[in-house]
Structure 1
Amino acid sequence: MKNIIIGTAGHIDHGKTALIRALTGIETDRLKEEKKRGITIDLGFAYLDLPDGERAGIIDVPGHEKFIKNMLAGVGGIDMVLLVIAADEGIMPQTEEHLNILSILQIKKGIIVLTKTDLVDEDWLDMIQEDIRSHMKETFLEDALIVPVSVVEGMGLEYLKQEIYKMAQAVELKDIRAAVRIPVDRVFTVDGFGTVITGTQVEGTLTVGDVLNIYPHERLSKVKNIQMHGKNVEKSYAGQRVAINLSNVKTEDIHRGDVLAQQDSIQVTMLLDVKLNLLKSVPRALKNRARIRFHHGTSEVLGRVILLEEDSLKAGESTYAQLRLEEEVALKTGDHYVLRFYSPVDTIGGGIVLDANPYKHKRFRDDVLEALYVKEAGDFESVLEQSIKKYSKAMKPIEFIAIQLGKTRAELQYGLEHLLKEAIIVQLSDSIYVHIDFLDELRQTITTLLMQYHQKNPLRAGMGKEEFRSRVFKDEMNRLSAQLIQYFESEKVIEVNQNRVALAGFEISFTNEEKKCLILFEAQYFESAFMPPYIDEITKLCPKGINGQLLIQTLIERSVLIKIDANICLHQKRFEEALHKISAYIQENERMTLGECRDMLGTSRKYAVPILEYLDQQKITKKIDDHRILF
């Protein structure tokens, strides 16, 4: 099934509404003011029955220059256009402006309908067609069919229907598997039903009962009913005009310009990077920081344009720019947009959204411009790589990146697998991928930090793990610090021993005097068994200039000594001996008192107390009243 949306375009009073009425039998002017004044003010909607039994939706747009914003709200989702030109007047200002807007939005198919032919003779008709051909050069309608019609006489209408049907067959199928997206163009209330919106479903499949997000307000609403061309349906698809009855939403809570879409499928932003193309007919240069009107989908938002590589832009020129908007909009990377001057309101140009969630840029930055070039011209894999690189430091999940690119995670899978195979990215967790350049920068940070630490602390086995974690892995990186440490261990950048982190291959280098002290300390602690010297006493045995405290710390880090409290250590073998004796005694006797421990170890109370308290801290023993049991 191919779903088609046809739009009209053309100057005021050239017969767009009358043409639709003649083709469909439907009156699209619904407002009292439209009927009174005889002109279209807002969007009108109809449908055309095609020969294959399908129905094409039709959007009738106003032709008056004052209602261009309404025209823009209607043409964003169309597949083909009927450019209506009155035979008695020919090309007029709004004909040109509408054509420019359609070109900016990259509408690719259309038919030129020459109306009111009953008002002119054959010679005039031939001349008008030649003039139209001349005006259409270098536009998407350069080779378009021109169909003369007369609504009054009924001439040419059946032929036009046949040509519309032929063109409809050539329209590309839309992606009905994508996340559903419907820009809202009309909101009203139906008695007994509540709030109803209408819009062109530009992506995805919608089913009654689905819960959608109303962007940019982030309000959830359930779909109670779907109508298409006045008939209730259970499902609707991309390329169809739909009316949707929503639950739990008042009409004042949703407006034209809002977007109905699947939750977490679209970006809400006030800042976006774009490729900007100025029309050849733009009446004046566009200066940096000019205030503009941004049109996207059915929305119109004010903002400013920041030209990233120029101070001003002339007619027909292109550039990369950043748009800083005054309100949030909901869109996707790759969407088309139109810009108009704030005042006087003339159409400037438009282009494609390259990044829907950028950082603020400084102007004339080569790295920024190069990145935007990749986003514009690069293949999708290059764009994916660049996005992962952009968000590596922030540790953004791949689902977030998919939203920025207007894709689902499944659509990114092939690119992810290839980038992993080429070692361009690294997967840290199920949803976190980071760029190798980010890891290389982090590697340099780690190497510099630990080199400086080893220089200042040559007798330490390494930096404390928690200190290392807090100094290296800032902000969002801290969440995945364990995975990052594991990665740099596997890459032979660091070594982790117990709670110390050192550069891979780092070894403490001792002088001969320091080595003698180490041997002396170890021997003293072993021989003294369970009555060891205090740390501040034994370190006095070192020659002048030798830091005995650091040597003791080295033995602790090497697990030669076990630190029991602030000033007491046991030799590791003596500690194991004490642990074995205490455990065996309690297993045999079910409990042990302080005195029994003291006597069994052949020590004094001042050592027995810290030994037992250390075992309590390690959850080996547990104190109950005046005795210990095994934990």
Structure 2
Amino acid sequence: MYVVATAGHVDHGKSTLVRALTGMEPDRWAEERRRGLTIDLGFAWTELRPGMTVAFVDVPGHERFVPNMLAGIGPVPAVLFVVAADEGWMPQSAEHLAALHALDVRHGLLVITRSDLADPAPAMEHARAEIARTSLGEIDAVAVSAPAGTGMSELQVALERLLSRIPQPDHHAPVRLWIDRSFTIKGSGTVVTGTLAAGRIRIGDELEVASLGQIARVRSLQSLGHPMSEVDSVARVAVNVRGIERDELRRGDALLTPERFRSTQVIDVRVHGDPVASLPKSVMLHIGSAAVSVRVRPLGADTARLTLAQPLPLRIGDRGLLRNPGAHHVSGGATVLDVAPPALARRRAAATRAAVLTELDGRADEHSELHRRRIARREDLERMGVTVTSRPVAGDWLVEESVWRQLRSELPRVVADWLRDHPLEPGPPVDVVRQGLHLPDRSLVHALVTPPLAVQAGRVVRTSQQALPAPIVRALQRIRTDLEANPFAAPPTELLTSLGLGPRELAAAARVGALVRIADGVVLLPDSIQHAAKTLGTLPQPFTVSDARKALGTTRRVAVPLLELLDRKGVTQRLPDDRRRIRGSRP
């Protein structure tokens, strides 16, 4: 299916032309038919030839209904531009053309109607000259008289030619169905209609309602009045949704493939049209079928930041239209450059941002986005419209290659700086390193750490032998000399304190293997455990604490915690009568 919108001045015969082409009445409301003008969007369709069906979105031409017109042409790829031969180019002809140019519509056909009432040549020449200066460029033109039927066969041939030039849609793209109508059908519930510009919708699909953040299930589908099990783009489609009430929806809402779009209220755009400096502080942004008031903050000569009155599901490269409704003026088109722009809180941040935007062209390029953002989640980039091919470095996190190399080189410095201020600690906590490297997630620290660094017990530590401060090394040497002479005569607390070996210093010495702590303030040499096991193995089994104390030549202060440590290590076994034996020994 192909979808084409009409455009042109009020009462130039758009609806009459659609009626003649399709045999259907595009005006939906009795008021429209009574007054003879289109007030809201109308829809009709026909089969030009087998395999080529075209649906028309008939838009109003009256100035008062321009927002309705913009809702109709927003999602549509091609236009049937209508000018009456007897009236020629008119104010709404110019505004509709400005809107099409702002939206960058590139496929169209000019139809001169009422050619039986006046020579169509002057109107055709004038209209083609106006249209040629816009995104539509040089387009075909046909003169017709719908009531008389003249020129209609030529129009059909020209339509077929136009449709054959329209690019094929991406059926595998995520769905974003901009809603242009919502209503209730008794026995079915809520129904919404729109132009499916890309993707595919099937019965049973779950679609997110952008404004609500809720999931709606597709109960049934219709396209061109026929029930369907699935509908491919491009198509006019009616979707019966379950789980959403009709009064919760409005024109400008969208049904989305879940988790594939980002709803945003702040975007950076390039403006195609009036100079940014001349824009009012507040204008209307028309995009898809939505119309939202936005605040304008100029950044560069043709770039601006727009703050939306309500969030919309937008992607990089989306094209919208800026209109000043008070002046009845189309200010220009707006290409979305960024849907997640940085805050502009610092001095000269706006000027810096303007320089960045100068380099952007509205294409969702992975390399460009990652280069600017440095670190980003894969899902976040995909929601912006970026096709991601890079492999995440950790979890869902992507890091620009040069940034990753820089982080690897900075990691040892961050660890060394922290250890210099905390010489008795094994290493900085992972979260301290994360903050030092300005990383958004702890998993990135784990991915960065490579030998000789490692993550142990929530800290980034050196796996090679760690050096202790010189005063501690000298104090340990004194302790080592005493313990080598008497291995189980643990130095008294008073001596440790006088040597500057408090709990933190002893913990640091134990971490590097210089000592073994068997209790608070009780330390021995590392080989004392093996030595004790060997000595106790020579005793008659089982033995008492007193037997062990005498064999080791120590006090209960050392013997009791040493035996408890041997119990925990499985060297000794404590019996019900509080005696012990070496495991594996015979009574």
Pair in the same fold by TM > 0.5: yes
Task: State yes or no: 1:463 paired with 2:427.
Answer: yes
Task: State yes or no: 1:127 paired with 2:127.
Answer: no
1:24-173 counterparts in 2 under 5 A? Answer: 24-120=22-118, 122=119, 125-173=120-168
* Structure 2 partner of 1:605: 556
Q: For the structure 1 residues 621 and 263, does the alpha-carbon distance in structure 2 shift closer, same or farther, using more than 3 Å as the test? A: farther
Task: State yes or no: 1:534 paired with 2:492.
Answer: yes
The Cα shift of 1:518 comes to 3.8
Contact 1:5 1:239 in 2 (8 A): yes
* Structure 1 partner of 2:295: 304
Moved more, 553-562 or 224-233: 553-562
Q: For the structure 1 residues 260 and 552, does the alpha-carbon distance in structure 2 shift closer, same or farther, using more than 3 Å as the test? A: closer
The Cα shift of 1:476 comes to 3.8
Q: Which amino acid aligns with 2:271?
A: L
Q: 2:382 aligns with which of 402, 409, 415?
A: 402
Contact 1:593 1:626 in 2 (8 A): no
The Cα shift of 1:581 comes to 7.0
Distance 2:458 2:431 in 1: 10
Describe the SS at the equivalent of 1:232.
strand
Distance 1:17 1:378 in 2: 37
1:381-396 counterparts in 2 under 5 A? Answer: 381-386=366-371, 389=374, 392=375, 396=376
The Cα shift of 1:614 comes to 5.1
Distance 1:244 1:510 in 2: 73
Percent identity between matched residues is: 29
Contact 2:264 2:339 in 1 (8 A): yes
Distance 2:514 2:60 in 1: 87
The Cα shift of 1:203 comes to 1.4
Q: For the structure 1 residues 562 and 133, does the alpha-carbon distance in structure 2 shift closer, same or farther, using more than 3 Å as the test? A: same
Distance 1:137 1:146 in 2: 12
Q: For the structure 1 residues 57 and 173, does the alpha-carbon distance in structure 2 shift closer, same or farther, using more than 3 Å as the test? A: same
Moved more, 438-447 or 49-58: 438-447
Q: 2:477 aligns with which of 501, 512, 519?
A: 519
Moved more, 69-78 or 30-39: 30-39
Q: For the structure 1 residues 474 and 354, does the alpha-carbon distance in structure 2 shift closer, same or farther, using more than 3 Å as the test? A: closer
Q: Deviations over 1:442-488 (max 9, x none)?
A: 5676555445445556x64753446844753778423443223x2xx
Contact 2:102 2:321 in 1 (8 A): yes
* Structure 2 partner of 1:21: 19
Task: State yes or no: 1:286 paired with 2:262.
Answer: no
* Structure 2 partner of 1:556: 510
- Count of matched residue positions in the alignment of Structure 1 and Structure 2: 578
Moved more, 52-61 or 183-192: 52-61
Distance 2:508 2:465 in 1: 14
* Structure 1 partner of 2:338: 355
* Structure 2 partner of 1:423: none
Distance 1:616 1:303 in 2: 73
Describe the SS at the equivalent of 1:106.
coil
Contact 1:215 1:259 in 2 (8 A): yes
* Structure 2 partner of 1:575: 529
Distance 1:119 1:499 in 2: 86
Specify every segment of 5 or more residues in structure 2 that has no aligned partner in the other structure, as ranges: none
Describe the SS at the equivalent of 1:107.
coil
The Cα shift of 1:320 comes to 1.4
Q: 1:565 aligns with which of 519, 531, 534?
A: 519
Task: State yes or no: 1:274 paired with 2:269.
Answer: yes
Task: State yes or no: 1:431 paired with 2:396.
Answer: yes
The Cα shift of 1:521 comes to 2.0
Contact 2:101 2:136 in 1 (8 A): no
Distance 1:523 1:377 in 2: 73
Distance 2:525 2:117 in 1: 112
Describe the SS at the equivalent of 1:376.
coil
Task: State yes or no: 1:320 paired with 2:266.
Answer: no
* Structure 2 partner of 1:420: none
The Cα shift of 1:560 comes to 1.9
The Cα shift of 1:198 comes to 0.5
Distance 2:424 2:11 in 1: 87
Q: Which amino acid aligns with 1:135?
A: E
Task: State yes or no: 1:244 paired with 2:220.
Answer: no
Distance 1:495 1:240 in 2: 56
Distance 1:39 1:584 in 2: 111
Q: Which amino acid aligns with 1:372?
A: L
The Cα shift of 1:116 comes to 0.9
* Structure 2 partner of 1:332: 315
The Cα shift of 1:506 comes to 9.8
Contact 2:424 2:468 in 1 (8 A): no
The Cα shift of 1:616 comes to 7.3
* Structure 2 partner of 1:206: 201
Distance 2:414 2:70 in 1: 56
Q: Deviations over 1:360-419 (max 9, x none)?
A: 235664542343244317782432423651xx2xxx531222112x24xxx422xx26xx
Distance 2:538 2:340 in 1: 65
Distance 1:277 1:141 in 2: 15
Task: State yes or no: 1:216 paired with 2:211.
Answer: yes
Q: Which amino acid aligns with 1:383?
A: S
Contact 1:564 1:614 in 2 (8 A): yes
Task: State yes or no: 1:478 paired with 2:442.
Answer: yes
Distance 1:259 1:351 in 2: 20
Q: Which amino acid aligns with 1:481?
A: V
Contact 1:371 1:386 in 2 (8 A): no
Q: 2:260 aligns with which of 252, 255, 265?
A: 265
The Cα shift of 1:57 comes to 1.4
Q: Which amino acid aligns with 1:304?
A: R
The Cα shift of 1:278 comes to 1.9
Q: For the structure 1 residues 471 and 39, does the alpha-carbon distance in structure 2 shift closer, same or farther, using more than 3 Å as the test? A: closer
Distance 2:323 2:192 in 1: 27
Distance 1:578 1:105 in 2: 86
Q: Deviations over 1:599-622 (max 9, x none)?
A: 564432222333355567889889
* Structure 2 partner of 1:421: none
Q: For the structure 1 residues 13 and 378, does the alpha-carbon distance in structure 2 shift closer, same or farther, using more than 3 Å as the test? A: closer
Distance 2:289 2:415 in 1: 56
Moved more, 184-193 or 528-537: 528-537
Distance 2:317 2:532 in 1: 71
Q: For the structure 1 residues 85 and 621, does the alpha-carbon distance in structure 2 shift closer, same or farther, using more than 3 Å as the test? A: farther
Contact 2:395 2:443 in 1 (8 A): no
Q: For the structure 1 residues 617 and 360, does the alpha-carbon distance in structure 2 shift closer, same or farther, using more than 3 Å as the test? A: farther
The Cα shift of 1:507 comes to 7.0
Describe the SS at the equivalent of 2:132.
coil
Describe the SS at the equivalent of 1:90.
coil
Distance 1:275 1:532 in 2: 76
Q: Deviations over 1:213-263 (max 9, x none)?
A: 111211111111111100111110111100111112210122211111111
Q: For the structure 1 residues 452 and 112, does the alpha-carbon distance in structure 2 shift closer, same or farther, using more than 3 Å as the test? A: same
Distance 1:534 1:350 in 2: 83
Contact 1:257 1:300 in 2 (8 A): yes
Q: Deviations over 1:24-77 (max 9, x none)?
A: 011111112212222111100111212133311110001111111111111122
Describe the SS at the equivalent of 1:136.
helix
Distance 1:583 1:216 in 2: 77
* Structure 1 partner of 2:329: 346
Q: For the structure 1 residues 249 and 454, does the alpha-carbon distance in structure 2 shift closer, same or farther, using more than 3 Å as the test? A: closer
Q: TM-score, normalised by structure 2?
A: 0.88
Q: For the structure 1 residues 266 and 597, does the alpha-carbon distance in structure 2 shift closer, same or farther, using more than 3 Å as the test? A: farther
Contact 1:447 1:503 in 2 (8 A): no
Contact 2:183 2:190 in 1 (8 A): yes
Q: Which amino acid aligns with 1:11?
A: H
Q: For the structure 1 residues 377 and 609, does the alpha-carbon distance in structure 2 shift closer, same or farther, using more than 3 Å as the test? A: same
